[in-house]
Amino acid sequence: MTLFLPQNSLSQSYREILIGVGEDPDREGLQDTPMRAAKAMQYLCHGYEQSVDEIVNGALFASDNDEMVIVDDIELYSLCEHHMLPFIGKAHVAYIPTGKVLGLSKIARIVDMFARRLQIQENLTREIAEAVQRVTQAAGVAVVIEAQHMCMMMRGVEKQNSTMNTSVMLGAFRDSSNTRQEFLQLIGRSK
What structural domains and CATH numbers belong to the chain? 7-47 (1.10.286.10), 59-188 (3.30.1130.10)
> Rounded mean pLDDT of 158-162?
90
pTM: 0.93
Where does 12-162 show beta strands of DSSP type E? Answer: 60-62, 69-80, 86-96, 100-102, 118-119, 140-149
> Rounded mean pLDDT of 66-74?
97
Instruction: Kindly report the average pLDDT of the chain as a whole number.
Output: 94
**18/1 Cα distance (integer angstroms):** 30
**181/54 Cα distance (integer angstroms):** 33
- 80 annotated ligand-binding residue: yes
Q: How confident is the model at residue 1 (pLDDT cuts 50, 70, 90)?
A: very low
For position 189, what pLDDT does the model report?
Answer: 79
- 45 annotated ligand-binding residue: no
> Rounded mean pLDDT of 132-136?
97
Which is it for strands 69-80 and 100-102: parallel, antiparallel or unpaired?
A: unpaired
Q: Which residues contact 90 (CB under 8 A, 6 or more apart)?
A: 72, 73, 74, 75, 76, 145, 146, 147
- The amino acid occupying position 70 is I
Query: What positions carry a catalytic annotation?
Result: 80-83, 121, 149, 151
Kindly tell me the sign of the dihedral angle through the C-alpha atoms of 81, 86, 89, 93.
positive
**96/142 Cα distance (integer angstroms):** 9
